[in-house]
Chains A and B, each alone.
Chain A
Amino acid sequence: MSDEMEEIIQDFIIETQEILDALDEKFVDLEKDRSNQDLLNEIFRSIHTLKGASGFLGYNQLVELTHTAENILKKLKDGILQVTPHIMDVILDSVDLMKLLLEHIKEKDGKEEDLNSIVSKLQAIEKGESTDPGDGARTEDGPPAEEEKPVPGQTKETETITPDENSQASPQKESNTEQEPSGDPPEKEKVHVEQTLRVDIERLDNVLNLVGELVLGRNRLMKITSNLETRHPEDHETSMLSETTAFLSIITTDLQIAVMKTRMQPMKKVFNKFPRMVRDLARSRGKEVELIISGEETEVDKSVIENIADPLVHLVRNALDHGIELPEERQSAGKPAQGTVKFSASQEGNNIVIEIEDNGRGMDPDIIRQKAVEKEIITQPEAMTLSGKEVLDLLFTPGFSTANEITDISGRGVGMDVVKTNISKLNGTIEILTEKGKGSRFIIRFPLTLAIIQTLMVEAAEEVYAIPLGAVLETVRVTAQDIHTVNSQEVIQLRGEVLPIIRLAKLFGTSPPMAPVTLYVVVATANDKKFGLAVDRLKGQEEAVIKAVEGNLVNLNDTNIIAGATIAGDGRVVLIIDVSIIMESLATGTLTYA
């Protein structure tokens, strides 16, 4: 295949993906506003465009499907058919199938899909034989497929018409009144001249890596400059060097931010799929749900966009399945029949906060306790001692699910534990707030950028480690006598509070040549809990470019407590500690020293 063709196909895939994603939202809007002619025209045009391009590239299945869907859309557009939930279901199903076909094109797997069932459903609608069940239940099995495959637009290319000479030689100004019924709304959409360039993500990643290296080089240069300043404070060259270094440092930071921004994408890309999903789920479960989305313009790193979708999907499924009650149940509880699911995204300082809130039945801590005991995650006496917050944490335990029966929405084997793992991968945290009868709220927080973080450099047993600054609350200086042992757990008292202590050196199986008299305790936090990391010395704050570390260096119950490595200003390779993992092991009482 020629390079040009390959490029066209790649463009086709990207552009078609965009069209199909936008279609979901447009269809959901259309269902709310069924007579919106502008919307119908837009939808029709999208499908029509898709059909045209597919034909050129020889994607016959896509042509067949878009052609059949287009016929219905034309009738809707021309007012011959009216939008009904049944028609929407079938058209949305066909859009799903288009996505699947696009997936095959992307994968170049040459696979085909069985279009008979959907095409015959579409054709039945087109002929006006709508089999709308009316009661809101989805028809899963259509009528037996009629084997009748139109191959549109394939064989017609030799057809020619010769415009008669007169009409062409003398252009008529307004000769015809039979203007196309679609009559595109003038000036409706803003004329946007997009100044964009599609760039291969690999190239951007490469730029980001190079900037990372530059940051490391800058850090080293700053270290060397400061050494020189102490040694030759009066030297003119030294002051010129520090000036230049300071300038370079500012530019590097600006460059870093600029490169980060090239990778930023609006949350809209993820939120886009939810109107359709909520609609489908609500319809299949017989629930009435309104979806409110805000902050979709909030920009996050591309890797976040890619990894946040699955956890959010799971939370939405949960909200629809377990959260929002059936309309009757809601009404008898004195709530409006229609439930609400709210999605929001916002930026708070260097963090992105995503919230999912529903006004459903909320979670009952007693039921969670009971389930956890039944599933032998905890014992009955343990269950009684857990606080409300600790009970909610049980939801994140592998294998825990509150659903009494497995439904097609939830309970597919991926539970909240997977949600948490995925969020942790983004260095994020998830918090649950719930009130029985009122609803639940899930708050997800993660750092703006994943590649470069601020860290606190510490030293333990002559080794330097980096602790992400986001997890550090404060640091305190203690003497050996301040450390007590309670139930074989070392603790200190901090302003009347008992704080468990972990010795960092011991975690890594190293020990200092002699037990230090004074220690520093870094008070770290994760998931709203606190613990202290005891170290020998604090070295200061430094920007760290995270480099992945292959393999598990230090295991705590088979989890890697190393978030990555970085190169410090003095050129040393420094390990970055994953505070949340240590916290988890501490909380479950499974922490053991190496």
Chain B
Amino acid sequence: MFDLNMKILVVDDFSTMRKIVKNVLKQLGYNNIEEAEDGAQAYTKLKNNTFNFVVSDWNMPNMDGLDMLKKVRSDPELKDLPVLMVTAEAEKDKVVTAIKAGVNNYIVKPFTAETLKQKMEQIFERLNKS
């Protein structure tokens, strides 16, 4: 359906969480995964390499997920990069903020491989349509 070799960036300040997300992605067959500790590090990585997809935490030191998203969207090179935001729970106002800032979808912790797959399918279906 979509490319299992696509390059994914997992952004979270808690290394255990990065491992967990990576593990879930691996269950779905993705193996080309890199990590970043916060939004600032993620942005640098995104600028220096070509990534196809970003899974980012929201609450992080230095630069949080929302600020990173805004920076990505305002960058001509990165503006179309699909970003999936991970939140702790469905805080509606937060989600609205993220959508306004141009997030492609969001997912609530904890999630299963199946849920992640659905979210990713939704994102890429919409991208393919447009």
Contacts and interface: CB of A to CB of B under 8 A. Distances in A.
Contacts of A173: 70, 73-74
B104 A163 contact: yes
A5 B22 CA distance: 12
Contact of B15 (A11, A42, A171, A174): A11
B70 to A, nearest CB: 8
Contacts of B122: 160, 162
Given A4-B23, A164-B99, A168-B104, A180 B64 contact: yes
A56 interface: yes
A42 B74 contact: no
A168 B61 contact: no
Given A12-B16, A163-B104, A184-B61, A156 B89 contact: yes
B97 to A, nearest CB: 6
Interface string B112-126: 100100110010001
A15 B15 contact: yes
Contacts of B33: none
A8 B19 contact: yes
B104 A45 contact: no
Main secondary structure of the interface of A (DSSP, over half): loop
Contact of A191 (B62, B79, B130): B62
A163 B99 CA distance: 6
How would you classify the secondary structure of chain B's contact residues: helix, strand, loop or mixed?
Answer: mixed
Contacts of B74: 171, 173
Given A45-B61, A168-B104, A191-B40, A178 B97 contact: yes
A453 interface: no
A156 B126 CA distance: 23
A180 B15 CA distance: 24
Interface in A267-297: none
Interface residues of B, number: 52
A488 interface: no
Interface residues of A, number: 53
Contacts of A42: 61
A168 B62 CA distance: 25
Interface in A170-184: 171-176, 178-180, 182, 184
A327 interface: no
A289 B97 CA distance: 46
B6 interface: no
Contacts of A157: 107-108, 110-112, 115
A159 B74 CA distance: 29
Contacts of B57: 52
A165 interface: yes
Given A52-B14, A53-B16, A167-B99, A8 B23 contact: yes
In the A-B complex, the 7 residue pairs with the smallest Cβ-Cβ separation, listed nearest first, are A171-B73, A55-B110, A171-B102, A56-B110, A163-B99, A12-B16, A52-B109
Given A8-B20, A167-B99, 17 more contacts: A4-B23, A11-B15, A11-B19, A49-B17, A51-B88, A52-B86, A52-B110, A53-B14, A53-B17, A153-B88, A157-B112, A163-B104, A167-B102, A168-B102, A168-B126, A171-B102, A182-B64
15 contacts: A7-B19, A11-B19, A52-B110, A56-B110, A153-B88, A156-B90, A157-B108, A157-B111, A159-B90, A160-B122, A171-B73, A176-B97, A180-B64, A182-B64, A193-B41
Interface of A: 4-5, 7-8, 11-12, 15-16, 42, 44-45, 48-49, 51-53, 55-58, 152-154, 156-165, 167-169, 171-176, 178-180, 182, 184, 186-189, 191, 193
